[in-house]
Amino acid sequence: MSTDDSHSFTRHGLIVRLTHCIGKSLAEIDSAGVLTGKARNKGFVGNVIEQSVLGYPADSKQRPDLVVNGVETELKSTGIIADKDAGTFQAKEPMSITAVSPETITQEQFETSHFWKKLEHMLLVYYFYAGRDVPYADFSIEGFEFHEWGRDDIDVLKEDWTLVRDFIAEVQRDYPDYEAQYPRISTELNRQLMYTDTSPKWPNRPRFRLKRRVVTSLVQGHFGKRGETLAAEYATYSAIDAKCHELAIRNAGKTVAQLMQEQSLTLPASSVGKGIAESIVVRMFGGTSKKMRNVELFGRIGLLPKTIVLTTQGKKTEDMKLLRLDFDEIADPAQRFEDSSVRDFFAQNQILLIVFEEPGRDASFIENRFVGFMRLWFDEAFIEEEVHPVWRRLRQLVRGGQLRDVIELDREGNPRTNKKTGTKRSAPNFPKSRDGIVFVRGTGRDARDKTETVNGIRMYRQNLWIRGTYLAERVSQMNVL
């Protein structure tokens, strides 16, 4: 390595240094004493890599951190956690890229922007985040990669950045007090961005970030789980909407059975449930996966498929399950709602509603007729008014010692029992559907499937749900794509 300010390395030299770190704790590689006698701080991981592994002091300059074989390269240390549902890793949080600078961004072009300079060539170092009660010194280095984006990804990133730049240029041109419009950068634009978002909200200076799902796709790709690539490119939500419109025109009114036949999907009629709708949609988009999350694009942008079946009167048929709750995070005294996985889910994901209509109350799913698609997102007002209060209540119950396991009673006031096991039925006193639009409900086969333990109380896996009546109301106000 040279002693100048460029932090120059050879690619081979970096591979040797970082390979030596895999499987070791930060304490084992912290030869510079970065962690000694200091409070917990997530920035220490990057500092240990820079100072102890690469041998240079940390700095905050806006240029990329390294020069690797003559190429400017950004170094990013990224926390990963276990993905309980997929049996692999996922990103712990979004990845901060660079500041959104209204003073200069309008004079930039994407190819020479600070944003792209930070993303074009990256060295990602993955460390395992072992939990809030574990010292950073015990976190381990799990892997690293030199990452460069594919052409389709670059198109998406360029569209995202251009949307922000053009919005800032527009308000600077059209509003005398244009800074008063800057909060809209996050509140309005984030739902239009595919791979990125901006946070925090103005007047706090926002930064571009890669969404957590995008970072998760990088993590899972590195550790051997890559999603299916579609033949067609979709660089904006508008392009996805246009494809959905085309598919709706072509297929509206067809039964599930007809759609299955056209897409060469075979199952006994008695086995056909809502899950088949995902497979049908993936086939419509030209893929072969059973789940949309296994398609690289859909997984990265957080476009979550949900099948909704309406009666002929437009009424709901059932509530919708969303994300699984992370009780380690809920119990963390330092956790803020703004940085929580709960807020992240509602702010960064969008739901592709696959809408069917049932011909009658006794109809099986395979008889339902396809209506079309709708794209649902949750605005800031919904997140603050419906989601945040539930998160606060969960924190009160878990951290305040108010969590109870409540025996369920029948109409006569007698304890209800599970038919399979004979045990009394019970549930935690989490917010229920009668309490609000967003609520908590457990999922499991029977009392023997209570695999979650919170404050010593055994319970089913707990998810946030949304009431079906609310969804039916939203659908009645939306147009089919």
Range among 130-139, 360-369, 387-396 rated most confident = 387-396
Q: What is the pLDDT, as a whole number, of residue 1?
A: 42
Question: What type of residue sits at position 108?
Answer: E
Q: What is the pLDDT, as a whole number, of residue 220?
A: 92
Q: What is the pLDDT, as a whole number, of residue 108?
A: 96
Q: What is the pLDDT, as a whole number, of residue 33?
A: 85
The pair of three-digit structure tokens given for residue 441, joined into one six-digit string: 């409900």
Q: What is the pLDDT, as a whole number, of residue 422?
A: 65
Q: pLDDT tier at 211 (50, 70, 90 boundaries)? A: very high
Mean pLDDT, range 416-421, rounded to an integer: 72
d(CA 439, CA 324): 12
pLDDT at 38 over 70: no
Mean pLDDT, range 303-316, rounded to an integer: 80
CATH architecture of 8-222: 3-Layer(aba) Sandwich (3.40)
Mean pLDDT, range 159-165, rounded to an integer: 97
Mean pLDDT across the chain: 89
β-bridge mates for residue 83, sequence order: 88
Q: pLDDT tier at 40 (50, 70, 90 boundaries)? A: low
CA angle at residue 110 from 109 to 115, to 5 degrees?
120
Minimal CA–CA distance to 237: which of 473, 476, 481?
A: 481
Q: pLDDT tier at 473 (50, 70, 90 boundaries)? A: confident
Minimal CA–CA distance to 47: which of 60, 22, 37?
A: 60
Mean pLDDT, range 31-59, rounded to an integer: 78
Mean pLDDT, range 250-273, rounded to an integer: 90
d(CA 387, CA 389): 6
Question: What type of residue sits at position 178?
Answer: Y
CATH superfamily assigned to domain 237-376+470-477: DNA mismatch repair MutH/Restriction endonuclease, type II (3.40.600.10)
Could you tell me the pTM of the whole model? 0.85
Q: What is the pLDDT, as a whole number, of residue 5?
A: 56
How many alpha carbons fall within 13 Å on the CB side of residue 160?
24
Q: pLDDT tier at 337 (50, 70, 90 boundaries)? A: very high
Mean pLDDT, range 341-350, rounded to an integer: 90
Q: What is the pLDDT, as a whole number, of residue 468?
A: 87
Q: Which stretch of DSSP H or E encloses residue 392?
A: helix 388-399
**Helices 341-348/388-399 angle, 10° precision:** 160
pLDDT at 409 over 80: no
Q: Which residues belong to CATH 3.40.600.10 in the chain?
A: 8-222, 237-376+470-477
Q: What is the pLDDT, as a whole number, of residue 3?
A: 41
d(CA 150, CA 158): 12
Mean pLDDT, range 363-379, rounded to an integer: 92
Q: What is the pLDDT, as a whole number, of residue 2?
A: 41
Q: DSSP states of 14-83 as a string?
A: HHHHHHTTTT-BHHHH-TT-TTTT----THHHHHHIIIIII-------SS-SEEETTEEEEEEEEEEEEE
Minimal CA–CA distance to 421: which of 456, 450, 463, 454?
A: 450
pLDDT at 61 over 80: no
Q: What is the pLDDT, as a whole number, of residue 224?
A: 86
Q: What is the pLDDT, as a whole number, of residue 86?
A: 64
What 3-state DSSP class applies to 119?
A: helix
